[in-house]
Every structure is written in C-alpha cells, then in structure tokens.
Amino acid sequence: MEDARHTLGLLLGTENDWPSVFEALVRRLGAVTDGSARVHHYDVERLTIEPFDLRDQPSYDLVIDRLAYWYYVPREWLKKVALMDGTYLLNSPFTFQAMEKHAAYCAMMRLGLKVPDTVLVPYKNPVEHTKYAYTAERYNRPFDLEAVAARVGYPLFMKPYDGGAWRGVSRIRNADELNRAYDESGEMLMHLQASVEGYDVFARSLSIGAETMVMKFDPDQPMHARYSVDHHFLSPEVGAEVTTIGRLVNAFFRWEFNSCETLVKDGNVHPIDYANACPDVAITSLHYYFPWAMKTLVKWSVFATASGRTATPHIDPTPWFTVADRPDLSYEEKLVAYRELADTYFETERYHDFCASRLPDVDKVVLEYIESGDFDRVLVETVTTTFPTHEHEQYVAHFRGLLALWAQDERNRLSPVA
Ligand SMILES: Nc1ncnc2c1ncn2[C@@H]1O[C@H](COP(=O)(O)OP(=O)(O)O)[C@@H](O)[C@H]1O
Ligand SMILES: [Mg+2]
C-alpha cells in the first residue's frame, strides 16, 4: 500500500511560540503507521493570505486556525475548503457565528444548563443604516433599561453579545453604573447577565478533540498568572461536570479546539463563557499546561487525518434536544446522556485506542522535547518578545520552573516510583 502524505496547515496571527513547538513535535514524532499498516508522513505549513480561486484545490488535509476570528479573508477560505475540499477543520467555520456567545447561551439554556439569566438589550446608538430612522420609529419599542436591570437583579454583568478578551465587560451595582455603561456601549450590542456572586472557584477548561484539561483560573490576575497549578481544586463530581459541559458545547457546535469558563458555587456549575473557539494557547498563558495542549493538538491532528475521521460542517441539535426534553431525566442524568452524545461525536474510545496503539512514543517525544535546548530557545524567545527587558530574567526563570515541574510530574506519571 502506498504511503500517505499529509500537510497540516496553521493559520496564524501574531504568535510564534506554539506554532514552532507544534512543528518541532510533528517532526520529532515522525511517520505514523495506522491499523492497516499504512504509513502516514506529516508536514506542517503556515498558511499565507492571498487571492484564492474558489475552484482551487488546497494542499492541506487539516487546518488549525487562530486567525479567522478577526480576519475574514481566511474565514471565507475556511468555508470554501470545508464545503468543497473535505479539509479537516478543528472548528466548523459555519458555527463561528456562535462565537458571538449569544448563540452558545441559547443552546446551553435549551439543554438545561445553569447559565445565569441573561437579557439582550437593543443598541444604545442608532444603527448606521439608511433604513434605520424609519424602522426604529415604527417598530422600536421604548424600553425602561432600569426596569430590565432590576428584573435581572444587581449586581449584574453588562457585556457584548459577541464578547472576547474582556472587551466592554463591566460589573454593575446600581442604576447609575447601569446608565453610564449603557451610554458607553455605543454601537456594541449588549447582554445584561445576572452575576454569580461569591463563587467558590473559577474553572476554565481547554478542550482539544476528545480531551479536556480543567484548570483553576483567576480572572483578576495578569495573563501569565491566571492559571494556577492545582490538580485537586474540584471534587471529582464537579470536575466531571465541568468536563462534560465543555465537551457537550463543543460536540454540539462542531468545535474541537475551544475553552469554556464556568463559575462553581455551592457545588453548582454555572457556564458563563464557552464560545472561545481557537483559544489562546501561548506558553506564557498556559505554562505548566502548555505541553499537554501541544501534545493533544498533535495527537488529535494525527488521529483526525490518519484514522479516516471526516469532518462534517453541519450541526444536528436534534439528539441533544431529545435528551433535553425528556421529563423523566434529572439534570445529572441529562449530563450523562450528553456526555455519551459527546463521546460518540468525538469517537473518544477509538481516539484513545489509536493513541495507545499508533502513537506509543508520543509521551516520550514530548517530554524529551520540552527538556531540550530547542524548546528552551523557544521559551526564551517568547518571554523576550512578550515582557519588557527588565522582566526577562525573572520570567525566563519563572516559566522554566513551571515547565520543569511539568516534566518532573510527567516523568513520575510515566514511570511511577513504587
Ligand atoms: N455572570 C457572571 N457572573 C460573575 N462573573 C462574570 C459573569 N460574567 C462575566 N463575569 C466576569 O467577567 C469576565 C469576562 O466576562 P466573559 O463573559 O468571560 O467575557 P469575555 O468573552 O470577554 O472573556 C469573566 O471572566 C468573569 O470574571
Ligand atoms: Mg471570558
């Protein structure tokens, strides 16, 4: 049987750290032999932006995208290759609109998740459109913002329906703050959302394909200190619930690379932001968890291309809603059923079998690389380009320490001392 050659494409913005690591890991992993003895070879290429003919055939088998969320040339290219060329995309470009958070809130409420009460309010400023004045006069109903807010209850969060990176998010305690924030919202379309006050812990999960890492998160810290290394900050039950929520959101929307934010209070898990398809995976954000993210991205990319998995661009909410509508099931039982649907979507069992039998060396490859001078050079370069000069020494030491801690834990995991 002839060998297969696959090109994995990377669509990138400003980042250079994780792409270099991804490229190095794929190179070090080498060829992969699938269950029918076929050998698969891998190349990684960074995509460039240029005119494209809609009938051109791309040379990419799979594309990992971190650019199309703000740059629409590649977004439209992604739609073309998803529809015409069978290119495997980790996130469906057709549900990108759901990154406008709003759609994700709707879907998750429909599935019975504990999303805080949320109201969408019309724009503060007129929409720039020649038809607006007439339409607004006829059909825009005047509304009492303070009364809407009072129904949601203070404190509340005002945030854009298509949020990301904290743009335009404010915590509102009274009518004065409400009016000020609404005035400032201008042309942004806003949600008012009940605040989960006094939560016990903020859990942020990063999912890549069939795997999920749940991390303790502190939104008040600067980027490099938001995730803390803590393996037991949730009870096993709550941890499983957070994982399930992340996976079900992803399976529902056809996302395989996404992060999900939940606030845990009195054992209840409240999802507040779970439409971050193509999340930040920088070394300087993920630190200790970075090797896991890179390894999983490599494993999932290889699985997706070497195991005959195909990407469907559409979503099918029907089986999910069938579970949601069953009156005989409790919330917990629905979560179990959602988890099964998600595992079916991700082919979780087949993925783990594939990794065990076809990628037996991947853990070793990643560990060796993370402890290599090659990786250290990427780390130093990333710190140098991320932090001001006087902080370089401090942060190189900081991130080296966290990565060394990961390597030590990984070594123990792979060959535990009796
Ligand atoms: N309903 C809420 N209850 C409590 N805190 C919230 C709520 N919504 C948002 N926040 C806080 O505001 C931050 C930003 O809101 P989020 O919805 O995550 O927006 P973004 O998409 O910009 O990240 C969250 O990380 C959290 O700290
Ligand atoms: Mg957020």
Residue 64: domain span: 4-95
Our answer on whether the CB atom of 261 is closer than 6 Å to any ligand 1 atom is yes
CB 325 within 8 A of CB 335: no
Name the pLDDT band for 265 (thresholds 50, 70, 90).
very high
Averaged pLDDT for residues 76-88:
95
Q: What are the backbone dihedrals phi and psi of residue 171, each rounded to the nearest 5 degrees, phi first?
A: -95, 130
Q: Which residues pair with 88 in a beta bridge?
A: 62
Q: Which ligand lies nearest the alpha carbon of 265? A: 1
Residue 263 CB: number of other CB atoms within 10 A?
A: 23
Q: What is the mean pLDDT of residues 358-387?
A: 98
Residue 260, helix vs strand vs coil: strand
Taking residues 337-344, what's their average pLDDT?
98
User: Which parts of 42-188 fold into alpha helices (H)?
Assistant: 72-84, 102-110, 132-139, 145-152, 175-185
Cα 297 to Cα 92, 100, 106, 240, 303: the distances in Å are 16, 24, 29, 21, 10
Residue 204 in contact with ligand 1 by CB distance below 6 A? no
From 155, 174, 194, the end of a domain falls on: 194
The alpha carbon of 104 and the centre of ligand 1 are apart by a number of angstroms equal to 14
CA–centroid distance, residue 251 to ligand 1 (Å):
23
* Token pair in block for residue 28: 């070090």
Confidence band for 277, pLDDT divided at 50, 70 and 90: confident
Ligand 1 neighbourhood includes 168 CB (under 6 angstroms): no
Pocket test for ligand 1, best of 69, 118, 157 (most atoms within 8 A of CB): 157
CB within 5 A of ion ligand 2: which residues?
261, 273
* pLDDT, mean of residues 391-402: 97
Cα gap 264→257, rounded to integer Å: 23
Cα 235 to middle of ligand 1, angstroms: 23
Q: Does the beta carbon of 195 sit less than 6 angstroms from any atom of ligand 1? A: yes
Ligand 1 pocket test target in 152, 202, 261 with most atoms within 8 Å of CB: 261
**Which residue carries 């979560």 as its tokens?**
335
126's CB contacts (< 8 A; 6+ apart) are 132, 133, 136
Q: Which of 336, 344, 297 is nearest to 316 (CA)?
A: 344
Q: What pLDDT does 418 receive?
A: 58
Between the CA of 272 and the centroid of ligand 1 the distance, in Å, is: 6
The answer to whether 178 and 158 have CB atoms below 8 angstroms apart is: yes
Q: Is the pLDDT of residue 98 over 70?
A: no
What average pLDDT does the segment 288-295 reach?
98
Strand 39-46 versus strand 88-89 pairing type: unpaired
Asked if residue 186 and residue 247 are part of one domain, the reply reads: no
Establish whether residue 164 lines the binding site of ligand 1, counting it when its CB lies within 6 angstroms of any ligand atom. yes
Q: Is the domain of 204 the same as that of 267?
A: yes
Same domain, yes or no: 331 and 233: yes
- Evaluated on CA atoms 251, 256, 258, 260, the torsion sign reads positive
Q: How far is the CA of 166 from the centre of ligand 2 (A)?
A: 6
Torsion over CA: 334, 336, 337, 338 (sign): positive
Q: Which stretches of 231-302 are assigned E, i.e. beta strand? A: 257-265, 268-273
Can you list the positions of beta strands (E) in 35-77? 39-46, 62-65
Q: 256: Cβ below 6 Å to ligand 1? A: no
Sheet holding 118-121, edge to edge: 118-121, 190-194, 156-160, 170-172
Same structural domain for residues 204 and 252?
Answer: yes
**Residue 350 backbone phi and psi in degrees, to 5:** -65, -35
Mean pLDDT of 193-220: 96
- Best CA proximity match to 214, nearest among 189, 195, 242, 241: 242
Residue 376 lies in a domain: no
CA of 71 to the centre of ligand 1 (A): 24
Average pLDDT over residues 332-338: 98
User: Once rounded to an integer, what is the mean pLDDT over residues 90-106?
Assistant: 86
Q: Does the C-beta of 157 come closer than 6 Å to ligand 1?
A: yes
pTM score, whole prediction = 0.95
Per-residue confidence band for 232, with pLDDT thresholds at 50, 70 and 90: very high
Atom of ligand 1 nearest to the CA of 166: 22
**279 ligand 1 Cβ < 6 A:** no
pLDDT at 258 over 80: yes
Domain final residue pick, 286, 319, 346: 346
The pLDDT score that the predictor gives to residue 276 is: 87
Please, are residues 6 and 62 in contact by the beta-carbon 8 Å criterion?
Answer: yes
Q: How far is the CA of 142 from the centre of ligand 1 (A)?
A: 28
* 127 lies in the same domain as 257: no
351 lines ligand 1 (CB under 6 A): no
Assess whether the C-beta atom of 9 lies below 6 angstroms from ligand 1: no
Ligand 1, atom 26: nearest CA belongs to which residue? 219
C-alpha radius of gyration, the chain, whole number: 23
Distance between alpha carbon 192 and the CA centroid of its chain, in Å? 23
Q: Is 264 in the pocket of ligand 1 (CB under 6 A)?
A: no
143 lines ligand 1 (CB under 6 A): no
Whether residues 14 and 37 share a domain: the answer is yes
- Residue 144 has a pLDDT of 97
Give residue 42's pLDDT: 98
Same domain, 159 and 263: no
Last residue of a domain, one of 194, 214, 233: 194
Provide the token pair at 379.
């780390």
**Residue whose CA is at the smallest distance from ligand 1 atom 1:** 195
Contact (Cβ atoms closer than 8 angstroms) between residue 204 and residue 272: no
> Residue 109 falls within a domain, yes or no?
yes
The pLDDT of residue 44: 98
Q: Mean pLDDT across the stretch 292-303?
A: 98
Asked if the model's pLDDT at residue 97 lies above 90, the reply is: no
Q: What is the mean pLDDT of the chain?
A: 95
- What pLDDT does 312 receive? 83
Q: Could you tell me if 202 and 124 lie in one domain?
A: no
Nearest ligand atom owner, CA of 99: 1
Structure token digits, residue 384: 């140098």
Mean pLDDT of 367-371: 98
Examine the domain organization and report whether 321 and 236 are in the same domain: yes
CA 179 to chain centre: 33
**What is the full DSSP assignment across 307-343?**
S-----S----HHHHHHHT-TT--HHHHHHHHHHHHH
**Centre of ligand 2 from the C-alpha of residue 223, in Å:** 12
Task: Average the pLDDT over 233-255 and give the result.
Answer: 96
Q: How far does the centroid of ligand 1 lie from the alpha carbon of residue 257, in Å?
A: 20
Compute the average pLDDT of residues 243-267: 96
CATH code for the domain in which residue 74 is found: 3.40.50
The verdict on 176 and 55 lying in the same domain is no
Measure the CA–CA gap between 395 and 377, rounded to whole angstroms. 14
